């Protein structure tokens, strides 16, 4: 997009602030934002409790590299256990709500014999975000090469996936192009 899309104006703040506000409104236990130095500087040092920022300054890296950075930070700073869930959200989907995040988090925590290793929100039958993966699966991702994609975990073990239909809102717009941003802002 030629600029840091997460810092583009959206409503009364930025795209990133809208996503962070939604996460902070939810019931998740901790937050790890993976960001480059400019976004890290934007966030500042006055962060809420259980909120960490992990740096990935490799601008051209694939999303899996940011996930690997985040997983390492979660392992080191939150002491996550194998059966904990790690939720993946995109910082360029500002239409996500605290309600959707909470719905997914609570569905993950539902008492059952064994929690699903993967829970994926769906919108009208299409998989989207949030997605929650068991920490044990995410530890495996830490060693992957950067040509791999996170959705490989769901494809290789479809029986391990629980889809959670989100019927209260449409799939959030993923802002990847100027046209996506125009669609998001209505300008």
Contact in structure between 37 and 57 (CB atoms under 8 Å): yes
- List, for residues 11-40, the tens digit of each pLDDT value: 999 999 999 999 999 999 899 999 999 999
Enumerate the domain spans of the chain.
Answer: 5-185
pLDDT at 114: 67
- List, for residues 38-96, the tens digit of each pLDDT value: 999 999 988 888 899 999 988 778 889 999 999 999 999 888 888 899 999 999 999 99
Q: What percent of the chain has pLDDT over 90?
A: 74
- List, for residues 143-181, the tens digit of each pLDDT value: 999 889 999 999 988 988 999 999 999 999 999 999 999
Alpha carbon distance 97, 169 (integer Å): 9
3 pLDDT above the threshold of 90 = no
3-class state of residue 9 by DSSP = strand
CATH H-level, domain 5-185: superfamily: Spore Coat Polysaccharide Biosynthesis Protein SpsA; Chain A (3.90.550.10)
Q: What is the DSSP letter of 45?
A: S
Contact in structure between 163 and 120 (CB atoms under 8 Å): yes
């Amino acid at each position: 997009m030629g600029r840091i899309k997460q810092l583009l104006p959206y409503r009364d703040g930025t795209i990133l602030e809208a996503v962070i506000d939604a996460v902070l409104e939810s019931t998740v236990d901790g937050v790890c934002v993976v960001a480059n130095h400019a976004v890290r500087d934007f966030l500042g040092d006055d962060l809420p409790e259980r909120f960490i920022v992990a740096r990935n300054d490799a601008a051209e890296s694939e999303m899996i590299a940011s996930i690997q950075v985040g997983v390492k930070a979660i392992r080191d700073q939150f002491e996550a256990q194998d059966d904990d869930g790690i939720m993946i959200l995109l910082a360029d989907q500002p239409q996500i709500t605290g309600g959707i995040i909470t719905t997914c988090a609570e569905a993950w925590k539902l008492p059952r014999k064994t929690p699903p290793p993967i829970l994926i929100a769906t919108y009208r039958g299409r998989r989207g975000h949030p997605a929650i993966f068991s920490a044990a699966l995410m530890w495996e991702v830490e060693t992957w090469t950067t040509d791999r994609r996170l959705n490989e975990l769901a494809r290789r073990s479809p029986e391990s996936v629980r889809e959670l239909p989100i019927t209260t809102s449409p799939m959030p717009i993923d802002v990847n192009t100027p046209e996506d941003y125009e669609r998001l802002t209505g300008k």
